[in-house]
Amino acid sequence: VITDGTSQFDMKSLTGETIPVTKGVGDSVLAGSVSLDGTVTVKAEKEYKDSTVSRILDMLEKSQDKKSHAQKFITRFARIYTPIVCLIAVLIMVVPPLFFNGQWHEWLYRGLSALVVSCPCALVISIPLSFFAGIGACSREGILVKGGNYLEILAKADTGVFDKTGTLTNGKFEFVTCEHNHCHCKDNQHRELLKIIAACERYSNHPIAKSINVAFGHYADECEVKDSKTYAGLGVSAIVDGVKYYVGNEKLMKEHCNDFKETNVIGTAIYCCSESEFMGDIVFADIIKQDSKDALKALGIAKTVMMTGDKEEIAKDIASKAGIDTVYSRLMPDEKANIVSELQKSGSTVVYTGDGINDAPVLSQADVGVAMGGAGSDIAVEASDMVIMGDSLSKLAIGKKVAKKTIRIVHENIIFAIAVKLLIIIGCAIGIFDENAMWLAVFGDVGVCLIAIANSLRALRVGKIKNK
């Protein structure tokens, strides 16, 4: 809790809130928040074990303990398949000679043929190889997968849950619009207003000030700036070319400007006024990535959900632009994990994509957790099952295509191998194949294995399928 001072706090890594939050005396601040433009005295009310960061790590460990992975098909299948085929081979050897006057040497060879062809090496080799090929195809596209079972789950995922900041959006402030003298404008118009704001913000270390200077700093190169002053949590003032200006949020304007007019544009507004009149405003916002909407369409998932710690109006604006079905805002990390848990209880297979410290518990809770590796935190990458090496969400759609193709190849190999083996075993059992059919048994084992392996390698080419 703040006992003295006022400052703006960057809480993006904890709550996903892009815009810094102003905190003053009496306000609580989370462990892990970063003070941007002021000096504050805080009183710790909780021990480390009860802090936000500690609880995030706690939830991460618990959700990993609860997480269950699908067993490999071959492990379950072998428990039933192996004893059954061994028993069938023995019956083929002994039943006809004992009860139907068959020749021992003839039925011994038929039983051995059945035993040879029943060897499950085609399944044992080709199924893992299919997953390895799928993982390799993903890695070519910059998607790291931590296990073949995650490809299996991703292929059947029907619910996509996404963090906002850094996942659907760029995670940094970009210029949106400018308004001056009631005239709406964009691009490089109204340079006078942009020049004044950039000059006033020249010496500020605030993230928004840095964005302003990157975008419009060159407009103010020739300005003479004096008496620059920072008002913690409010903005700045400075004398630019002999005239005093105030630049900051609506609270600063209300203190120094009588004709102040608040903008309706969604984002972070930076207002400007002189001592005599209101000049106008510019708006910065966390912009949606260019490929986000197309990537969500290409993903082909029935239900999409966005979860963020940011404000409701900002969350809804981004969700509408991205085509998201359901929006949750103002969430803490444990609330995100609870929502995913409820979705799973309702029967949904959830793939969650995020990049921040606050996403770690829910990345681990989801059936498949996908971390944005380009700008993602180390703990998010560690907690995830898949990592996109970059910031393009379209990679997730490619990953799902790879997963679906890989599972289809696995099913092809299983059906083909079992069908051929069963046909040969039945042929041996009913006497269609004679004692010279060992060559056919060898084909049913080695030949089928080679064909299945060749089919598995097709998964390596799936990564070349691009999002259209």
Active site residues per annotation:
163
How many C-beta atoms surround the C-beta of residue 60 within 10 A? Answer: 23
Distance CA 384, CA 356 (A): 11
What are 438's strand-pairing partners?
none
End-to-end CA distance of the chain: 51
Q: 366 with 387: CB under 8 angstroms?
A: no
Residue pair 13/377 in contact by the 8 Å Cβ criterion:
yes
β-pair type (41-42, 303-307) = unpaired
Q: Are 300 and 394 spatial neighbours (Cβ–Cβ below 8 Å)?
A: no
User: How does 278-289 read in b/e, with b if 16+ C-beta sit within 10 Å?
Assistant: bbbbbbbbbbbb
> What are the structure tokens assigned to 46, written together?
């909780």
- CA 276/CA 151 separation, integer angstroms: 64
Give rounded-to-5 percent helix, strand, coil for the chain: 50, 20, 30
DSSP string over 309-378: SS-HHHHHHHHHHHT-SEEE-S--HHHHHHHHHHHHHTT--EEEEE-SGGGHHHHHHSSEEEEETTT--H
Question: Counting Cβ atoms within 10 Å, is residue 198 exposed (0-12), middle (13-18) or buried (19+)?
Answer: buried
Q: What is the 3-state secondary structure (H, E, C) of 55-122?
A: HHHHHHHHHHHHCCCCCCHHHHHHHHHHHHHHHHHHHHHHHHHHHCCCCHHHHHHHHHHHHHHCCCHH
Q: Which of 174, 166, 171, 204 is nearest to 283 (CA)?
A: 174
3-state class of 242 per DSSP? coil
- With a CB cutoff of 8 Å and minimum separation 6, the contacts of 462 are 134, 137, 401, 402, 405, 406
> Which tokens belong to 141?
């596209």
If 0-12 CB within 10 Å is exposed, 13-18 middle and 19+ buried, where does residue 424 land? buried
